[in-house]
Structure 1
Amino acid sequence: MSFGKGCHLHLVDGSAFIFRAYHALPPLTRKSDGLPIGAVAGFCNMLFKQVEDAKGDDAPTHVAVIFDYSGKSFRNDMYPDYKANRPPAPEDLVPQFPLTRDATRAFNIACIEKEGFEADDIIATYARQAREAGGRVTIISSDKDLMQLVGGGVEMLDAMKNKRIGIEGVEEKFGVGPERVVDVQALAGDSVDNVPGAPGIGIKTAALLINEYGDLDTLLARAEEIKQPKRREVLIEKADQIRMSRDLVRLDDDVPELEPLEALELKDPDAEVLLPFLASMEFRSLSKRIADTLGVESPDIPEPPAPAASSEEAAAPDLPPIDPDKYERVDTMAALARWTALAAERGYVAVDTETTSLDEMQAELVGISLAVLPGEACYIPVGHKKGGADDLFGSDELAEGQLGLDEVLAALKPVLEDAAILKIGQNMKYDAKIFARHGVKVAPIDDTMLMSYALYSGLHNHGMDTLSDRYLSHEPIPIKSLLGTGKSAITFDRVPVDEAVKYAAEDADITLRLWQSFKPQLHRAQVTTVYETLERPLVPVLAQMEMNGVQVDRDTLSRMSNAFAQKMAGLEAEIHDLAGQSFNVGSPAQLGEILFEKLGFEGGKKGKTGKYSTPADVLEDLATEHELPGKVLDWRQLSKLKSTYTDALQAHINPETGRVHTSYVQTGANTGRLASTDPNLQNIPVRTEEGRRIREAFVAPEGKVLLSLDYSQIELRILAHVAGIESMREAFRDGEDIHAATASEMFDVPLAEMTPETRRRAKAINFGVIYGISGFGLARNLRIPRAEAQAFIDRYFEKYPGIKEYMNDTVGFAKDTGFVQTLFGRKIHTPEINAKGPHAGFARRAAINAPIQGTAADIIRRAMIRMPAAIEGLPVKMLLQVHDELIFEVDEGAVEDAIAAIRAVMEGAADPAVKLSVPLVVDAGQGANWAEAH
């Protein structure tokens, strides 16, 4: 097909695709030999999207992917320092460059590069040729250097943002049209490519000058006329350097001996070429998607072994597939001795426990599985009962063919406690607590769940099924297939031993393989420090806290439940009076009918079921004008407190200890914040009087008191530090009331004349900004008109421009790299940051908040990890962590010593890794119960 009028050429900037794929995706290696392939995988997905999108009226007729040729270009002859300050490509990206060329050819797309020229020059040449032939061109890139080509049938497409860049887009970026972009770049220079330009002149000034004088040559000829002395001097003294810079940034649109335009004709992929390439890369899911699209059978890609953990294993890459039928049932002490000897010989062993419950404080140990090499795993049953899953009268007697629990633990204890043998687990805290209850202190440990969290936070959850499927391409035996579901579900001690062997040993085998895959990647992803200083050492600290538990007074909870029930009954009566009839207040559908049909309130919306929706935000808006919705909100709050806390907490009191033992989930939030489950003690509301009263039920035993130590406004302090807001930093350093100081700065009110209302508004904005609050959200919080709220926010950013700059920089960094970071190096991935529609705002707010909230979370983790050593020898136990607060139980006579020791650790927790420009301040309180202490 000849190229002419009606043809549409797509020119893909291959290098931009490669680097975008490399930085946006987590590290990935080919499982059979460890070859890095993450960038290739992302590149192939982008190419496939290009193929898929090449349909409709605007589809390309011709396509080429253009690459930079490795080595120097003609610009280096002109200026030897051109691109001299660019760092070398990452070591693991280098072997992927040729593979991306192979991928392009496999997709049946023209693959073009030329020695001595950059990809941009080739793109410029093809764009000129296509324009002269009467065709259209779309350059798929967001590279600003290509913007000089836009116009006359040539436009750009930023594929990541799905944004087209025409002449207006260029003018928005450079302040001039495409024909003058080169002149502006010549003046502004380019630090990335080491183009010198005119020192001190940026893009805005350059555009101003070019628009005033018409072009660069005229500007340089009339430089004497410029009034600003510095600007005039630079333009006169550096004229030759500026002209050379123009030659460096101007693209060469006459690259010789390129493939003719006709050779770039769009062709369908050839399944017989493309699928074998994808199979060789071991891209299972992409192979299947493309095979389905092409209407052919997906290639069979053999299950590869996990990457080897040592040179000894690297010499034998043909590791066995995961085969549950080959695992060993250990039922003799001789067999167990062989496994413990293997673990001692290897220096590491994957360990997993099977129990009767998820509650580590009450679960019974049913069996233990071990793995020392991929494919070599065993299960040691110790607590399986007679009678299978379908035996209605299952006996409590132990099934035959099992070793005794005590003798198994006696044999395993030396291995599990040996400092020279690493114990590897998935959520090792659970297993460590099970063993601790049997007198075995497991150490040292590695945890694949926490490795995944350090590597991939924000991308997916970190449960073993997800990790196995994603990184081993293996779906583990589902637990439901053994236990069943619902009321007929059984506990693990009723599972037949032979079935248990397959399931349990597979868990240990998978854990070992995940460890071998993740361990080397921590260093490459630069998160080794996060894992080794924030994640791994926190496990024993949390385990001890959870086992300590907190004493809860059942009588107090019971009295509160009764009081809440009476108050709810009173509210129901008031609601019925206001409604003019009785109805079920807890039924959203009935409430909707009352509000929007009987009473005729405005704002009612029906859902898909045809019933009215009455969520909290709808009721909050109505409550500003009507009494009844406010009463319903109060009733709902009490109902939640009663069911979730005063009733449910009684059921969580451990019958043996008389305490409530929550479990902390290290991977529960992307930012590093801990989550609390069974029960969740971090969501007890403290803004209402009733919510605060629930803390009265958390009590200290006789002769002891509860201590609460709480970071004061830690997130605002971190914001002041990272955004460089000197006035805020000074206020914190001088110990001022930060909300009053902010109000004084924003509203020009002296501190001595500050009213509580003005301070309250500043406080709402201070905290709102951290969480990305909108004018609408602030209006609702302060019950003021939206325009007034937006004016407050606008004024805030005017007074503190550093905050806006921090926000924009953070979002820009997230868009470029696919993640944000805390001050301690924790990476939080932001996969939705380039999303369109309603997700865009949420992703942006999350990206802005994550480094602040994550840094605060890292600081309290550092404090918790150091705490056991600091309180050793004192009669003190650490019981709870709730966001920025730590709760301790201490003997009455040791309170002052305890506060001094704990405060010193907490206030110095960032040191020496991060030197904050504001002090960390910790407030301390004490009392007979949690409410008194905080």
Structure 2
Amino acid sequence: MSTTFGKGHHLHLIDGSAFIFRAYHALPPLTRKSDGLPIGAVSGFCNMLQRYVETNTGPDAPTHVAVIFDKGSHTFRNDMYDQYKANREAMPEDLRPQIPLTRQATIAFNIACEEKEGFEADDIIATLAVQARTAGGRCTIISSDKDLMQLVGDGVEMLDAMKNKRIDRDGVFEKFGVYPDRVVDVQALAGDSVDNVPGAPGIGIKTAALLINEYGDLDALLERAGEIKQPKRRETLINHADQIRLSRRLVLLDENTPLDFTLDDLEVREPDADLLMPFLAEMEFRTLTKRIADQLGVTPPAIEDTPATAPDAPEVADIPFDKSGYSKVSTGAELQEWIDRIYERGYVAVDTETTGLNEMTADLVGISLCVEAGQACYIPLIHKAYRGDDLFGSDDLAEGQMPLNDALEMLKPMLEDPSILKIGQNMKYDAKIFAQVGIHVAPIDDTMLMSYAMHGGLHNHGMDALSDRYLGHTPIPIKPLLGSGKSAITFDKVPLEDAVPYAAEDADITLRLWQKFKPMLHRTQVTRVYETLERPLVPVLAQMERTGIKVDRDTLSRMSNAFSQSMAGLEDEIYEMVGRKFNVGSPKQLGEILFDEMGIEGGKKGKTGAYATGADVLEDLATEHELPRRILDWRQLSKLKSTYTDALQEHINPDTGRVHTSYSITGASTGRLASNSPNLQNIPIRTEEGRRIREAFVAEDGKTLVALDYSQIELRILAHIADIEALKQAFRDGQDIHAMTASEMFDVPMENMTPDIRRRAKAINFGVIYGISGFGLARNLRIPRSEAQGFIDRYFERFPGIRTYMDDTKAFAKEHGYVQTLFGRRIHTPNIAAKGPHAGFAARAAINAPIQGTAADVIRRAMVRMPDAIADLPAKMLLQVHDELLFEVEQGAEGALIKAARDVMEGAADPVVKLDVTLNVDAGQGPNWAVAH
């Protein structure tokens, strides 16, 4: 018999929506074998409920529990403010039919399932939490939703189940800068872009907390707003007082929601096999059904066999993460035991800890190894005898470490042994660190690249994100170990007792991800992509990055000075046009001059109250006004100076005299590489000043730079994919493709072609690849929008196959959730069904992705084959910039290099894809990159 809820009772309130969306985004799409019903979110939701039931035992276990859901999208807040939550994206189509199934799942697990028409789940949670507190009991809200933090205190706490982190009053203060009783005031000021709560324009969480702490509460602040010294802040609070008060009503939870049940109705009930087993069987969750049946001591119901290649969901390893399974290796005997285990197993997950992120300058601090989930070790090598209260630290090594050289000598044969697979997460980094100490790691597998091959476009592929998403485990964070800002330390200063569990866990996570991902490659049909385009690229890029390219500091300095002078000249012209001096680099001052003082039409103010003066705005104005043109010219020079001529000097390695960029293989969903630290792929080439930057990239004495560049590769791929016979024939005949397009579109004979007509056709050719609109083309050509749209319409009339390709690609993306390159790379399109402003962008991205992705795959294939092709030549590959490869070669061997590299690049698609058009490669050479290109 139930007793009335009161002292000693503990209520758990689970935020159902948080569980659902967490489950939906944590796993790849999954459908029921029998009828194709989407069930991925239901599978994840059931796994989360099962883990909840299993783990909530003991003296602090709940006595009462409920999962609370949102009943519908319209609540009393929409009656208050019709724009409330108006900008939220539509629910994914494959999630919609799963929502009612999650309610059924909750009931099947014998857990109370509650919702209320016209109210949000948060209001029900608030009402129940207050009732529990009033009755003298405790309440734990299982959610990380910041809107619920106003309830914390006096027996109510929150639990972020994903991070296993409890949120009390101090945790709320850490988030908002105020305690729970003032959270609503801060939210009313700061607003919420996700829920479309307007708040006070220009005031964020930090400023809001400062104001509330200074004035006590929101009412006092608004009453005394005239006392605030900052004019802008004062005006905002005075002018938007009603909007702020409305925002407070929107974020304040209703603690008196009318409910048709009581706390006593939420008493914890044991799972009932008669309820649960039929539901799990109906969903066809074979693994989960068997596991729960075993726990309940019943015979699992028969589920029609499904192929092993289509399991109900990738299961999280049953072995828990436990620091007690992590050990420190400090002697040769201990290390030998691990090496013996590695040879018995044939593979090992390996990770390095270093003093920094730059592989060319960082020192190796320690190495972690794992051959079995839950068991890993860390080999510290150069940790310092450092303590947190030691002001200056120490250069003495901490006790309990192997000598660096001894450890490397023992590990080198294994790390280089072709019979042992080395598994890493972002293995390129670790390979470069090992290369710095003379170890050439091979063969490798890379969990980051496996994820990228399977999930490109869905999410990022960093270890923390993958662990969270696919293992349900939040890794030990690095920030508390290293600190931040000026007081930050490097990993060699981290005490061993903290370093061991952190480092060993990284290897443990990596091994578990590998065990999960490796079989998934085949099921998702991307094994070839991973094995031919991702994994073999790692050693190629690592070598290129270590080689680097020579940059002449004097040339950069001269350019910097020249840019400064040109900027000063432009500033004088700008001041003369305006009639006074002002800060040319200030968007706010510029906006006031353009739209207030000069009265130019079209000015639009953003949330901060300042006019927008971005490049798109200025480019539109530049079609009619001289001042925006001069500003654009000034901005371009300023960017060239700050980003390249100044910053590149800081990136010259003092030991090599060269710049060593780092390539991100997973930098773009289409397969394009991204370059950073420094980014050498964004050096502009359309302007004379931008082209001059490349003059600073030079060959060493006695050597030459050689550049090989695919000619119009994306247009060629478009001609093949969209089957445009006129374009294919033009490429076969070696015609000027832009002149041919202009001739087709504008009925101008080739012999009468003018540069301006050709330029327009070129802009359309390349624009169509990127799904350009009439608006965008008008901006590019500086012509009226109607005229530009007319060009695009005529283009599709002359080449109808392109429109067909676009329509077919969008339809495929909407049906399957991804598009594909000719080589099988999947590029997921999660926003393809979005409504509103994002819809056009998602569609254009889906149309472009197979073209850009195929071009990216082609040059990847060329890069993978290149080292063998030029192995006998005195040459090295230095850079890849989208469709271009740059080499350094001894003088006299340029011709041999060009022939060998061109053969590889032009034949890169073979034998997997037979293109209907040839791939042509242009070559150039010279003492610097500008001449070679």
The one-letter code matched in structure 1 to 2:687 is T
Query: Which residue does 1:429 correspond to in 2?
Result: 428
Distance in 1 of aligned mates of 2:268 and 2:496:
47
The one-letter code matched in structure 2 to 1:709 is L
The one-letter code matched in structure 1 to 2:342 is A
Residues 24-63 of structure 1 mapped to structure 2, 5 A cutoff = 26=28, 39-42=38-41, 52-53=71-72
Change (3 A) 1:278 1:594: farther
The one-letter code matched in structure 2 to 1:478 is P
Partners of 1:22 and 1:39 within 8 A in 2: no
| CA apart distance, 1:626 | 1.8
Query: Which residue does 1:681 correspond to in 2?
Result: 680
Partners of 2:448 and 2:462 within 8 A in 1: yes
Distance in 1 of aligned mates of 2:478 and 2:25:
36
Distance in 2 of aligned mates of 1:628 and 1:686:
24
| CA apart distance, 1:323 | 1.6
Query: Which residue does 1:15 correspond to in 2?
Result: none
Secondary structure of the corresponding residue to residue 893 of structure 1: coil
Residues 543-554 of structure 1 mapped to structure 2, 5 A cutoff = 543-554=542-553
Distance in 2 of aligned mates of 1:886 and 1:36:
49
Change (3 A) 1:833 1:269: farther
Partners of 1:25 and 1:38 within 8 A in 2: no
Change (3 A) 1:753 1:318: closer
Q: Does 1:845 align with 2:844?
A: yes
Q: Does 1:460 align with 2:459?
A: yes
Partners of 2:385 and 2:493 within 8 A in 1: yes
Residues 544-623 of structure 1 mapped to structure 2, 5 A cutoff = 544-623=543-622
Unmatched runs of 5 consecutive residues or more in structure 1: 1-20, 58-98, 110-267, 283-308, 311-315
- Segment of structure 1 superposing worse, 758-767 or 47-56: 47-56
| Deviations 1:8-31, CA, capped at 9 Å, x for gaps | xxxxxxxxxxxxx9999725699x
Distance in 2 of aligned mates of 1:918 and 1:670:
25
Secondary structure of the corresponding residue to residue 599 of structure 2: coil
Partners of 1:706 and 1:888 within 8 A in 2: yes
| Deviations 1:816-842, CA, capped at 9 Å, x for gaps | 000000000000000000000001000
Query: Which residue does 1:887 correspond to in 2?
Result: 886
| Deviations 1:780-827, CA, capped at 9 Å, x for gaps | 111111111111111111111110110011000000000000000000
Identity of aligned residues (%): 70
Query: Which residue does 2:168 correspond to in 1?
Result: none
| CA apart distance, 1:413 | 0.6
Query: Which residue does 2:59 correspond to in 1?
Result: none
Query: Which residue does 2:722 correspond to in 1?
Result: 723
| CA apart distance, 1:403 | 0.6
Partners of 1:23 and 1:817 within 8 A in 2: no
| CA apart distance, 1:627 | 1.6
Secondary structure of the corresponding residue to residue 787 of structure 1: helix
| Deviations 1:558-612, CA, capped at 9 Å, x for gaps | 1111111111111111111111111111111111111112222212222222222
- Segment of structure 1 superposing worse, 651-660 or 380-389: 380-389
Q: Does 1:854 align with 2:853?
A: yes
| CA apart distance, 1:666 | 0.2
| Deviations 1:624-659, CA, capped at 9 Å, x for gaps | 222211111111111111111001100100011100
Distance in 2 of aligned mates of 1:865 and 1:341:
33
Change (3 A) 1:38 1:569: farther
Query: Which residue does 1:823 correspond to in 2?
Result: 822
Secondary structure of the corresponding residue to residue 629 of structure 1: helix
Secondary structure of the corresponding residue to residue 370 of structure 1: strand
Change (3 A) 1:462 1:277: farther
Distance in 2 of aligned mates of 1:22 and 1:507:
25
Distance in 1 of aligned mates of 2:316 and 2:791:
63
| CA apart distance, 1:37 | 12
The one-letter code matched in structure 2 to 1:408 is A
Distance in 1 of aligned mates of 2:73 and 2:502:
46
Q: Does 1:736 align with 2:732?
A: no
| Deviations 1:110-132, CA, capped at 9 Å, x for gaps | xxxxxxxxxxxxxxxxxxxxxxx
- Segment of structure 1 superposing worse, 374-383 or 621-630: 621-630
Q: Does 1:518 align with 2:517?
A: yes
Partners of 1:551 and 1:660 within 8 A in 2: yes
The one-letter code matched in structure 2 to 1:839 is H
Partners of 2:31 and 2:39 within 8 A in 1: no
Query: Which residue does 1:669 correspond to in 2?
Result: 668
The one-letter code matched in structure 2 to 1:889 is E
Q: Does 1:442 align with 2:457?
A: no
Structure having the higher Rg: 1
Change (3 A) 1:42 1:808: farther
Query: Which residue does 2:179 correspond to in 1?
Result: none
Secondary structure of the corresponding residue to residue 594 of structure 1: helix
CA RMSD of aligned residues (A): 3.4
Distance in 2 of aligned mates of 1:807 and 1:719:
11
Secondary structure of the corresponding residue to residue 823 of structure 1: coil
| CA apart distance, 1:36 | 15
Query: Which residue does 2:833 correspond to in 1?
Result: 834
Change (3 A) 1:377 1:689: same
Distance in 2 of aligned mates of 1:793 and 1:666:
34
| Deviations 1:452-504, CA, capped at 9 Å, x for gaps | 00010000000001000000011111110111111211111111111010110
Q: Does 1:814 align with 2:818?
A: no
| CA apart distance, 1:391 | 2.1
Distance in 1 of aligned mates of 2:896 and 2:906:
16
Which TM-score applies when normalising by structure 1? 0.69
Partners of 2:316 and 2:470 within 8 A in 1: no
Q: Does 1:871 align with 2:870?
A: yes
Query: Which residue does 2:149 correspond to in 1?
Result: none
| Deviations 1:200-234, CA, capped at 9 Å, x for gaps | xxxxxxxxxxxxxxxxxxxxxxxxxxxxxxxxxxx
Query: Which residue does 1:378 correspond to in 2?
Result: 377
Query: Which residue does 2:656 correspond to in 1?
Result: 657
Distance in 1 of aligned mates of 2:832 and 2:69:
21
Query: Which residue does 1:346 correspond to in 2?
Result: 345
Distance in 2 of aligned mates of 1:270 and 1:714:
66
Distance in 2 of aligned mates of 1:687 and 1:423:
44
Secondary structure of the corresponding residue to residue 923 of structure 1: strand
| CA apart distance, 1:909 | 0.1
Query: Which residue does 1:139 correspond to in 2?
Result: none
The one-letter code matched in structure 1 to 2:579 is G
Distance in 1 of aligned mates of 2:473 and 2:669:
25
Distance in 2 of aligned mates of 1:474 and 1:407:
35
How many residue pairs get matched?
A: 684
| CA apart distance, 1:39 | 4.0
Secondary structure of the corresponding residue to residue 681 of structure 1: coil
Partners of 1:107 and 1:274 within 8 A in 2: no
Query: Which residue does 1:796 correspond to in 2?
Result: 795
Partners of 1:348 and 1:423 within 8 A in 2: yes
Distance in 2 of aligned mates of 1:44 and 1:508:
28
Secondary structure of the corresponding residue to residue 931 of structure 1: helix
The one-letter code matched in structure 2 to 1:561 is S
Query: Which residue does 1:703 correspond to in 2?
Result: 702
| Deviations 1:733-754, CA, capped at 9 Å, x for gaps | 1111111111111111111111
The one-letter code matched in structure 2 to 1:727 is A
| Deviations 1:366-418, CA, capped at 9 Å, x for gaps | 00000110011000000111223442211222222111111100010111011
Query: Which residue does 1:244 correspond to in 2?
Result: none
Change (3 A) 1:481 1:108: closer
Distance in 2 of aligned mates of 1:433 and 1:56:
56
Partners of 1:421 and 1:444 within 8 A in 2: yes
Query: Which residue does 2:492 correspond to in 1?
Result: 493
Query: Which residue does 1:188 correspond to in 2?
Result: none
Partners of 1:26 and 1:38 within 8 A in 2: no
Secondary structure of the corresponding residue to residue 446 of structure 1: strand
Secondary structure of the corresponding residue to residue 369 of structure 1: strand
| CA apart distance, 1:44 | 7.2
Secondary structure of the corresponding residue to residue 698 of structure 2: coil
Partners of 1:23 and 1:818 within 8 A in 2: no
Partners of 1:744 and 1:750 within 8 A in 2: yes
Change (3 A) 1:758 1:619: same
Distance in 2 of aligned mates of 1:624 and 1:801:
31
The one-letter code matched in structure 2 to 1:572 is E
